[in-house]
Amino acid sequence: MSWKLFELLVQASLYTVLISFASITIGLAIGTAVSGAMLSPSRLLSIPGRAFVSFFRGAPLLVQLLLIYNLLPALGLNVPSIVAAITGLSLCTAAYQAENLRGGFQSVPRGLLEAADMAGLSALQQFRRIRAPIAFRLAFPSLVNEAIMILKASSLVSVVGIVELTRMAQDLAASTYRPIELFAAAGFLYLMINWLIALGGSLFERSFRAGRP
Amino acid sequence: MTVPAVSVKRLTKRFGQTEVLHEIDFDIPQGMVSCLIGPSGSGKSTLLRCMAFLEEATEGSILVNGQPLGFAEGPDGKLARLPAARIRAVRSQIGMVFQQFNLWPHMTALGNVSEALKTVQGIPRREAEERAMQQLKKVDLENRAGYYPSQLSGGQQQRVAIARALALEPKIMLFDEPTSSLDPELTGEVLNVMRALAADGMTMVVVSHEIGFAASVGQRLAFLDQGRLILNGTPQEIFAKPRHRRLDQFLDTYLDRGAAMLV
Amino acid sequence: MNFDTGLILASLPEIMHAFSVTMLMWVAGVIGATVLGFLVAVARRYGPRLPRHLLRVFVEVIRGTPFLIQLFLLYYGGPFIGLSLDPVPAGLLGLTIYGAAYFSEIFRGGFEAVPPGHVEAAECLGLNRQQTIRRILIPEMTMLVLPASVNMAIILLKETAVLSIITVPELTLVISAIGSQQYAFVESLFLLALFYWGLVEISGKLGRAAEARLSRFRLALA
């Protein structure tokens, strides 16, 4: 495979990383809010929260992407395709991240909160200083996993016209008649990026384990 | 003179660089209850597991009723591993009861006890289950035969485990800390089953923290410390004063557990 | 909203056919992936060294790359090495291989989660390796891997939608085609999403019911 082709793939993979990163970040923000809603004692918040998670984990991502891509213009929002794509990915990952965070929050050992109570911390202080940090640490591995999932899922935005890594490989394969090389190279790039994400995740995890025995 | 039930000769066991047992030499007599006692890490569980061939000795040999277990000296004087069928044949004389019971969760009590009869000995299901029921009766659990392990208490599970081992009519029963995983109220029912078994004349080797049991039911005691056999004899001999220094130190930590009567 | 009921009724046979294709791909895919995944897990545990390493690489690659890339490789790349497949067989093969990699990890974890003491007890009671695997390891493993397997099966259901990209005539392809013909694209996609959602929810509930029924086999704690 010529360097030129590979270079094009690498450029496209940077675009993939950009899209994935944007979606993960926005998804984390939405997901945090949704998990808060799910854990809320108020049914007004918890029921829509659970419904959101259920729907966006229940329908296939491809269908969600097609839906949003066509829904936004129908609602009068003529946004560029990339915005529609990121919106679709973000909503999907938000649902999974909400579920991971919810699990993290509910796994915080009760005893730790009771100790905080006895030490006189207010509810807000308990949340900020004990519950949230621990929940985040517990949920972190699944969040890293989710990042890897989004990276792979981003290949689907190729069907709504975004030229990321998969689409680039497709186009090049069609014009050079070398699908095996190109898709294998694309696969290799995905593997590399995933490996980097996993590495980054475990380094980051180690940093906040630093103080532990 | 009858052959000892188990004969351990110069047994040494190493895990990597760590030596856990050092040249252990002793015999388990027939028809008696032998207890292995000692502090944590003394190697007593490892020694028991070697007798069951769950661990393979690094050096030395084990004879069960005179027959070599696992390894035997070949004509060239070197130790050779015996064929799997021979190992199974010798092992079939031994029954093992584990600290964690190890009942199979997908079978009922009756299923657990009858499994080896059916699968290993090829006994037809109806007969195997009858025999299993007899064993369950002996440990007083015949009305729990259809229960699954998750539906039984710890003490009940351990009694089923004992019945399971007895179903194969072993000549020697090994117990690896049989009551250590039980709540204190539940140890009694298991120790009583073991007492009854001893009264019937079964050769038993027990690793246990229950010093009271060892002192009252044990007929031979072996005290191990840091992989070495320090003392070996009847309870009277071992506990007679003046006591070996290490034994004294060890008993000090167990005063609460019924050793007070020995002080 | 823009529904022409007459046209919808006329399309009903097409929709039914698409539904049956989705179901076929899903069920056959899950069965194939489970069987292949189990074989891979056994080979990785008991097999000789070279196949073990190769299989490990295979599993890591499949799990680390997008499903779509794997499909493209099979469907567009296949003919170049003599493997000319129609969309449906290609999709089925792709789904099976993809699922098998994930199932093999699930089963591998299951093997390791069976308490070693249960295997030791079997040994002491005289069961040989084959009897131990058959009577103890596999039944215990099945209980342990059930939740993860149900999850994976549901994931595979959602992945069948991706098969539309290589023109497999399943639900997503057909419904979006009909929808665009009728200028009711958004509505039909929405119904499609709801439909998958319903299927996923039902499967989830069935899976949890199966887990509950097997809960009496749960590992007993001391």
pLDDT tens-place string over residues C3-46: 566 666 778 888 899 999 999 999 999 999 999 999 999 899 88
- CB of C70 within 8 Å of a chain A CB? The answer is yes
Would you state the CATH architecture of domain C5-217? Answer: Orthogonal Bundle (1.10)
Please tell me the distance in Å from B169's CA to the nearest CA on chain C.
Answer: 11
Chains C and A physically touch (3 or more Cβ atom pairs below 8 Å)? yes
Please determine, for residue A206, whether its predicted confidence score (pLDDT) is greater than 90.
no
Confidence band of C51 (pLDDT split at 50, 70, 90)? very high
- Convert the pLDDT of each residue in C83-133 to its tens digit: 888 999 999 999 999 999 999 999 999 988 999 999 999 999 999 888 998
Touching subunits for chain A (3+ Cβ pairs under 8 A): C
Please determine, for residue C221, whether its predicted confidence score (pLDDT) is greater than 50.
no
Contact between C73 and A173 using a beta-carbon 8 Å cutoff = no
Please tell me the distance in Å from C206's CA to the nearest CA on chain A.
Answer: 15
B1 lies in some domain: no
Q: How many domains does chain B have?
A: 2
Cis? peptide before B242, omega within 30° of 0? yes
Chains B and A physically touch (3 or more Cβ atom pairs below 8 Å)? no
B147-161, C123-137, C173-187: range with highest mean pLDDT: B147-161
Residue B240, domain extent: 6-93+170-262
Of C157 and C216, which is predicted with more confidence? C157
Please determine, for residue C2, whether its predicted confidence score (pLDDT) is greater than 60.
no
Which of B70-84, C106-120, C208-222 comes out lowest in average pLDDT?
Answer: C208-222
Residues B163 and B243 in one domain: no
The size of the A-C interface in CB pairs under 8 A is 109
Residues B83 and B193 in one domain: yes
Place of tokens 């998670």: A53
Looking at residue A210, its pLDDT comes to: 61
- Per-state percent for chain C, helix, strand, coil, to nearest 5: 85, 0, 15
Which residues on neighbouring strands pair with residue B223, listed in sequence order? B37, B231
Closest partner residue to B91 (CB to CB) among C126, C131, C143 is C126
Please determine, for residue A136, whether its predicted confidence score (pLDDT) is greater than 80.
yes
Q: Which residues contact B195 (CB under 8 A, 6 or more apart)?
A: B217
Q: Is residue A82 classed as helix, strand or coil in its secondary structure?
A: helix
Q: Which residue of B has its CA nearest to C128?
A: B120
Residues B174 and B251 in one domain: yes
Which residues on neighbouring strands pair with residue B199, listed in sequence order? none
* DSSP-assigned states of every residue in B155-189: HHHHHHHHHHHHTT--SEEEEESTTTTS-HHHHHH
The pair of three-digit structure tokens given for residue B38, joined into one six-digit string: 């000692």
Of B159 and A39, which is predicted with more confidence? B159
Residue C162 in contact with residue A60, Cβ under 8 Å? yes
Question: What ipTM score was computed for the predicted complex, to two decimals?
Answer: 0.88
Side chain identity at B261, as an amino acid letter?
M
Looking at residue A130, its pLDDT comes to: 81
Which of A68-77, A192-201, B186-195 comes out lowest in average pLDDT?
Answer: A68-77
Which of A166-180, C80-94, C207-221 comes out lowest in average pLDDT?
Answer: C207-221
Please tell me the distance in Å from C173's CA to the nearest CA on chain A.
Answer: 10
Residue C150 in contact with residue C207, Cβ under 8 Å? yes
pTM of the complete model: 0.81
Which residues of chain C does A159 touch, with a Cβ-Cβ cutoff of 8 Å? 165
Contact between A179 and C185 using a beta-carbon 8 Å cutoff = no
- How many angstroms separate the CA atoms of A55 and A52, rounded? 5
Residues B55 and B82 in one domain: yes
The pair of three-digit structure tokens given for residue A66, joined into one six-digit string: 């097609």
- CB of C116 within 8 Å of a chain A CB? The answer is no
B98 lies in some domain: no
Please tell me the distance in Å from C214's CA to the nearest CA on chain B.
Answer: 9
Which residues of chain C does B95 touch, with a Cβ-Cβ cutoff of 8 Å? 124
Sign of CA dihedral B194, B197, B199, B202: negative
Q: Which CATH superfamily is A15-158 part of?
A: MetI-like (1.10.3720.10)
Which residues of chain A does C200 touch, with a Cβ-Cβ cutoff of 8 Å? 57-59
Please determine, for residue A8, whether its predicted confidence score (pLDDT) is greater than 50.
yes
Q: Name the burial class of residue C218, with classes exposed (0-12), middle (13-18) and buried (19+) by CB atoms within 10 angstroms of its CB.
A: middle
The pair of three-digit structure tokens given for residue C89, joined into one six-digit string: 């067989």
Using a pLDDT cut of 70, give the percent of chain C over it. 93
Q: Which of A1, A66, A158 to mutate to test the interface with C (most CBs of C within 10 A)?
A: A66
Which residues on neighbouring strands pair with residue B14, listed in sequence order? B19
